[in-house]
Amino acid sequence: MSTKSNPFEHELTPDNCAFLMIDHQVGLSSFLTSIAPAVLKNNILGHAKTAKAFDIPTVLGTSWPQGPNGPTMPELLDMFGKESVIDRPFVNFWNDETSRETVKSLGRKKLVISGLALEVCVAFPAIAAAAEGYEVYAVIDASADFNPLITEVTIQRLASAGVVVTTWVAVLAELANNTQINGKHIANLLSEHMGQYAVAMSNFLGVASNAEEMKSQIGTPPLLARQ
C-alpha cells in the first residue's frame, strides 16, 4: 500500500504555504504565448495580489535577466520589492542552493508555484520539491509555454509526480475559506482580474436591495471605483 502523502488532506491556509513565483520576466511573458499575453499578465497579477492579500511569504526567482528573458515584471517588484528576487545561474530553481535554502527557511510545507515557462521553471522545481516531501501546487494559468500542447504534456507530468494542478482563482478561494471573513478579497481580486466577475459585481451593486450592506463589507472593488 502506498504511503505517499495526500496534498488534499489539509487545505491551503495563509499559515501553511509559501508562494514561489519563478521567472515572471518581461521577455518570457511576451514570447510564451500558450495564453494570450494580456490574459497571462492579468492572471499573474491576480495571483500575486492573492499572496499580498493574505500576507503569504513569496519568493521571486529570475534566470538570465541580462538575456532575452529580461528583468522581473515591474508590477511584481512594486509589490514585493527587489529584495524578494533571487537571480540564479541554474535552469532548475531547486538546484540553486540560495533559492532552495530560502524556501526551506520559510518553514512552510505547502508550496504554490507559478512561473514562465511551465514546462521548465515550474515543472522542474515542483517535481523536485515534491520528491523531498513538500506538498506542491502548480498554478497553471499564472504560467505559460510556447504552445498549448506543451502545457497539456506538462500537466500530465506534474500530476503523475503528485503535484496538485490548479489555477489562481482556485488558490484564492481555498485561502479565503470563509466569505464572511474574506469575501472582500474574493470580490476585489476577481472584480479587478476577472472581467466576467466585474460585470456581475457591477450589476449586483447597481440593483441589489442589500448593495449598501455588501459595500460596507467588501468596500467598492478598485476596478468599479474607477468607472
Q: Which of 35, 40, 120, 121 is catalytic?
A: 121
CA proximity to 189, closest of 222, 217, 215: 222
Residue with cell 515591474: 74
Residues 58 and 21 sit within 8 Å (Cβ to Cβ): yes
Which DSSP string do the residues of 5-74 spell out, in sequence order? Answer: --TTSS---TTTEEEEEE--BHHHHHH--SS-HHHHHHHHHHHHHHHHHTT--EEEEEE-TTTTT-SBPH
C-alpha dist (Å) from residue 218 to 38, 46, 47: 27, 17, 19
* Known catalytic residue at 121: yes
Residues 223 and 191 sit within 8 Å (Cβ to Cβ): yes
- SS3 category, 116: strand
**For residue 86, how many C-alpha atoms fall within 13 Å in the half-sphere facing its CB?**
23
Residues 110 and 134 sit within 8 Å (Cβ to Cβ): yes
Residues designated as active site: 121
